[in-house]
């Protein structure tokens, strides 16, 4: 079974919208998607999923959304080997370190052994229809990668 956990931190709702678009793609590909706000989740929950999408908005010059900051710290020591993953978030190009929080999520996923399947997804501020379609496709890609990994070679 392809179970994807989508964990996000969002103050304004933009990163939540990205998470929802990714979840729609996962479902369209035949997977199960569970969306969780990190304010109400524990990092150990990442272990029960086959694939992961982790997202935070970037604040100022590279800070995590406040709830994601704590979640990120608490991820220390998790073993995410064998998990396919994608980092994502809403970002503002007015800042010098555009999307730094998303890049830090990407680094942390790799450090903990996950395989990121695409470049970090950085959405400029509020996701538009084209952004949502792209995130939908990324959700499908993530689910398909997990399904392919789970299927025995013939």
User: pLDDT over 70 for what percent of the chain?
Assistant: 98
Task: Please state the pTM of the whole predicted model.
Answer: 0.95
Burial of 143: CB neighbours in 10 Å, binned 0-12, 13-18, 19+: buried
79-104: pLDDT as tens digits: 999 999 999 999 999 888 899 999 99
Mean pLDDT of the chain: 95
* CATH of residue 108: 3.40.50.360
Instruction: Compute the average pLDDT of residues 42-56.
Output: 98
Q: Could you tell me the pLDDT band of residue 132, with boundaries at 50, 70 and 90?
A: very high
What is the torsion angle, in degrees rounded to the nearest 10, for the CA atoms of residue 57, residue 60, residue 61 and residue 65?
A: -30
Sign of CA dihedral 106, 109, 111, 115: negative
Residue 27: give the domain boundaries. Answer: 3-150
Q: 84: which residues sit within 8 A by CB, 6+ positions away?
A: 50, 51, 52, 114, 115, 116, 117, 142, 145, 146, 149
Q: Could you tell me the pLDDT band of residue 153, with boundaries at 50, 70 and 90?
A: low
How many domains is the chain partitioned into structurally? 1
Q: Is 26 helix (H, G, I), strand (E, B) or coil?
A: helix
């Amino acid at each position: 079974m392809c179970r994807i956990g989508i964990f996000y931190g969002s103050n304004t709702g933009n990163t939540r919208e990205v998470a929802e678009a990714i979840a729609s793609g996962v479902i369209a590909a035949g997977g199960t998607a569970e969306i969780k706000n990190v304010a109400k989740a524990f990092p150990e929950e990442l272990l029960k999923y086959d694939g992961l999408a982790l997202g935070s908005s970037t604040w100022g010059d590279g800070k995590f959304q406040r709830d994601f900051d704590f979640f990120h710290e608490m991820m220390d020591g998790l073993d995410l080997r064998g998990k396919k993953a994608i980092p994502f978030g809403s970002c503002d190009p007015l800042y010098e370190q555009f999307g730094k929080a998303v890049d830090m999520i990407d680094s942390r996923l790799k450090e903990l052994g996950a395989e990121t399947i695409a470049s970090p997804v950085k959405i400029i501020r509020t996701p538009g229809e084209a952004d949502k379609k792209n995130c939908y496709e990324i959700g499908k890609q993530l689910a398909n990668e997990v399904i392919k990994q789970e299927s025995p070679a013939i």
